[in-house]
Amino acid sequence: MRKLLIFLAVAAVAMSIEAKTIVVYFSATGTTKAAAENIAKAEKATLWEIEAAEPYTDADLDWRNKQSRSSLEMNDPEARPTIKQCTNIMPYDTIFVGYPIWWGICPRIINSWIDNNLPQLEGKTLVPFATSGGSGVEQSVEYLRKTYPALTWQDGQLIGR
Protein backbone atom coordinates (compact mmCIF):
# COMPACT_ATOMS: atom_id res chain seq x y z
CA MET A 1 0.00 0.00 0.00
CA ARG A 2 2.79 2.40 0.97
CA LYS A 3 4.62 1.58 -2.27
CA LEU A 4 1.46 2.28 -4.26
CA LEU A 5 0.99 5.65 -2.55
CA ILE A 6 4.60 6.60 -3.25
CA PHE A 7 4.17 5.53 -6.88
CA LEU A 8 1.01 7.62 -7.25
CA ALA A 9 2.66 10.63 -5.62
CA VAL A 10 5.66 10.39 -7.96
CA ALA A 11 3.37 9.98 -10.99
CA ALA A 12 1.32 13.00 -9.95
CA VAL A 13 4.46 15.15 -9.61
CA ALA A 14 5.78 13.88 -12.96
CA MET A 15 2.47 14.69 -14.63
CA SER A 16 2.31 18.16 -13.15
CA ILE A 17 5.80 19.11 -14.35
CA GLU A 18 5.33 17.51 -17.77
CA ALA A 19 5.15 20.18 -20.46
CA LYS A 20 1.58 20.33 -21.69
CA THR A 21 2.16 21.97 -24.98
CA ILE A 22 0.69 21.28 -28.39
CA VAL A 23 1.67 22.74 -31.74
CA VAL A 24 -1.40 23.09 -33.94
CA TYR A 25 -0.89 24.25 -37.50
CA PHE A 26 -2.36 24.61 -40.95
CA SER A 27 -0.09 24.41 -43.98
CA ALA A 28 -1.17 24.45 -47.61
CA THR A 29 2.20 23.87 -49.26
CA GLY A 30 4.47 22.52 -46.50
CA THR A 31 6.40 25.57 -45.28
CA THR A 32 4.45 26.07 -42.06
CA LYS A 33 4.44 22.29 -41.56
CA ALA A 34 8.27 22.28 -41.45
CA ALA A 35 8.28 25.21 -38.99
CA ALA A 36 5.69 23.45 -36.81
CA GLU A 37 7.73 20.25 -36.75
CA ASN A 38 10.80 22.20 -35.59
CA ILE A 39 8.87 23.96 -32.83
CA ALA A 40 7.29 20.70 -31.65
CA LYS A 41 10.71 19.07 -31.49
CA ALA A 42 12.25 21.98 -29.58
CA GLU A 43 9.30 22.22 -27.16
CA LYS A 44 8.87 18.44 -26.84
CA ALA A 45 5.28 19.14 -27.75
CA THR A 46 2.51 17.21 -29.43
CA LEU A 47 2.06 18.07 -33.11
CA TRP A 48 -1.36 18.43 -34.72
CA GLU A 49 -2.15 19.37 -38.30
CA ILE A 50 -5.38 21.19 -39.10
CA GLU A 51 -6.49 19.60 -42.36
CA ALA A 52 -9.24 20.95 -44.59
CA ALA A 53 -12.01 18.44 -45.23
CA GLU A 54 -11.61 19.48 -48.84
CA PRO A 55 -7.85 19.91 -49.48
CA TYR A 56 -6.68 23.09 -51.22
CA THR A 57 -5.59 22.60 -54.82
CA ASP A 58 -3.06 24.81 -56.61
CA ALA A 59 -5.98 26.56 -58.32
CA ASP A 60 -7.60 27.15 -54.91
CA LEU A 61 -4.43 28.89 -53.73
CA ASP A 62 -4.14 31.25 -56.72
CA TRP A 63 -4.14 34.64 -55.01
CA ARG A 64 -4.07 36.43 -58.38
CA ASN A 65 -7.48 34.98 -59.25
CA LYS A 66 -10.26 36.88 -57.47
CA GLN A 67 -12.57 33.88 -57.90
CA SER A 68 -10.20 31.25 -56.47
CA ARG A 69 -11.30 29.48 -53.30
CA SER A 70 -8.69 31.22 -51.13
CA SER A 71 -9.64 34.66 -52.53
CA LEU A 72 -13.34 34.02 -51.94
CA GLU A 73 -12.65 32.81 -48.39
CA MET A 74 -10.36 35.71 -47.53
CA ASN A 75 -12.86 38.20 -48.91
CA ASP A 76 -15.53 36.78 -46.62
CA PRO A 77 -14.79 37.36 -42.91
CA GLU A 78 -17.49 34.80 -42.03
CA ALA A 79 -16.01 32.00 -44.18
CA ARG A 80 -15.29 28.89 -42.09
CA PRO A 81 -13.85 26.07 -44.20
CA THR A 82 -14.67 22.66 -42.74
CA ILE A 83 -11.92 20.84 -40.87
CA LYS A 84 -11.37 17.10 -41.35
CA GLN A 85 -10.88 16.08 -37.70
CA CYS A 86 -11.33 17.75 -34.34
CA THR A 87 -8.47 18.31 -31.90
CA ASN A 88 -8.44 17.34 -28.21
CA ILE A 89 -6.97 20.45 -26.64
CA MET A 90 -8.15 19.68 -23.09
CA PRO A 91 -4.80 18.41 -21.73
CA TYR A 92 -2.77 21.38 -22.99
CA ASP A 93 -2.00 24.70 -21.29
CA THR A 94 0.08 26.21 -24.08
CA ILE A 95 -0.99 26.02 -27.70
CA PHE A 96 1.24 27.14 -30.54
CA VAL A 97 -1.00 28.10 -33.47
CA GLY A 98 0.76 28.14 -36.84
CA TYR A 99 -0.38 29.26 -40.27
CA PRO A 100 0.79 30.77 -43.56
CA ILE A 101 0.00 34.46 -43.95
CA TRP A 102 -2.85 34.87 -46.43
CA TRP A 103 -3.80 38.40 -47.40
CA GLY A 104 -1.90 39.72 -44.39
CA ILE A 105 -3.72 37.58 -41.81
CA CYS A 106 -4.40 33.93 -40.98
CA PRO A 107 -6.35 31.70 -43.38
CA ARG A 108 -10.04 31.37 -42.46
CA ILE A 109 -9.51 27.73 -41.55
CA ILE A 110 -7.73 29.00 -38.43
CA ASN A 111 -10.99 30.74 -37.51
CA SER A 112 -12.78 27.43 -38.10
CA TRP A 113 -10.39 25.70 -35.71
CA ILE A 114 -10.74 28.40 -33.04
CA ASP A 115 -14.54 28.48 -33.36
CA ASN A 116 -14.65 24.67 -33.08
CA ASN A 117 -12.64 24.82 -29.86
CA LEU A 118 -14.34 27.69 -28.07
CA PRO A 119 -14.81 28.04 -25.14
CA GLN A 120 -12.22 25.40 -24.14
CA LEU A 121 -9.46 27.69 -25.45
CA GLU A 122 -10.23 30.27 -22.78
CA GLY A 123 -7.54 30.40 -20.10
CA LYS A 124 -4.94 28.70 -22.28
CA THR A 125 -1.87 30.51 -23.62
CA LEU A 126 -1.98 30.84 -27.39
CA VAL A 127 1.29 31.45 -29.21
CA PRO A 128 0.84 32.37 -32.87
CA PHE A 129 3.55 31.69 -35.43
CA ALA A 130 3.49 32.09 -39.18
CA THR A 131 5.41 31.75 -42.40
CA SER A 132 4.96 34.17 -45.28
CA GLY A 133 6.31 35.43 -48.56
CA GLY A 134 7.49 38.59 -46.84
CA SER A 135 4.67 39.99 -44.69
CA GLY A 136 5.11 40.23 -40.94
CA VAL A 137 3.03 38.35 -38.37
CA GLU A 138 1.85 41.44 -36.44
CA GLN A 139 -1.28 42.20 -38.47
CA SER A 140 -2.45 38.61 -38.12
CA VAL A 141 -2.00 38.66 -34.35
CA GLU A 142 -3.84 41.98 -34.12
CA TYR A 143 -6.68 40.42 -36.11
CA LEU A 144 -6.79 37.36 -33.82
CA ARG A 145 -6.78 39.54 -30.70
CA LYS A 146 -9.62 41.68 -32.05
CA THR A 147 -11.67 38.72 -33.26
CA TYR A 148 -11.19 36.64 -30.10
CA PRO A 149 -10.69 39.11 -27.23
CA ALA A 150 -11.56 36.49 -24.60
CA LEU A 151 -8.51 34.42 -25.55
CA THR A 152 -4.95 34.95 -24.33
CA TRP A 153 -2.72 35.71 -27.32
CA GLN A 154 1.02 36.07 -26.97
CA ASP A 155 2.97 38.16 -29.47
CA GLY A 156 3.44 36.19 -32.66
CA GLN A 157 6.58 34.95 -34.29
CA LEU A 158 7.35 34.94 -38.00
CA ILE A 159 9.43 31.87 -38.83
CA GLY A 160 11.94 32.54 -41.60
CA ARG A 161 12.79 30.05 -44.28
Ligand X SMILES: Cc1cc2nc3c(=O)[nH]c(=O)nc-3n(C[C@H](O)[C@H](O)[C@H](O)COP(=O)(O)O)c2cc1C
Q: Residue 128, interface with ligand X (CB under 6 A)?
A: no
111 binds ligand X (CB under 6 A): no
Cβ-based neighbour number of residue 20 at 10 Å: 16
Site for ligand X in 61-90 (CB under 6 A): 61, 63, 70
- Amino acid sitting at position 73: E
Query: Is residue 135 involved in binding ligand X (CB under 6 A)?
Result: yes
For residues 148 and 161, what is the distance between their CA atoms, to the nearest angstrom?
29
Choices 16-24, 76-84, 126-134, 144-152 (CB under 6 A): range interacting with ligand X: 126-134
Is residue 132 a contact residue for ligand X (CB under 6 A)?
yes
Q: Can you give the C-alpha Rg of the chain in angstroms?
A: 18
- How far apart CA 63 and CA 103 sit, in angstroms, is 8
By CB under 6 A, name the binding residues for ligand X: 27-33, 61, 63, 70, 100-104, 131-135
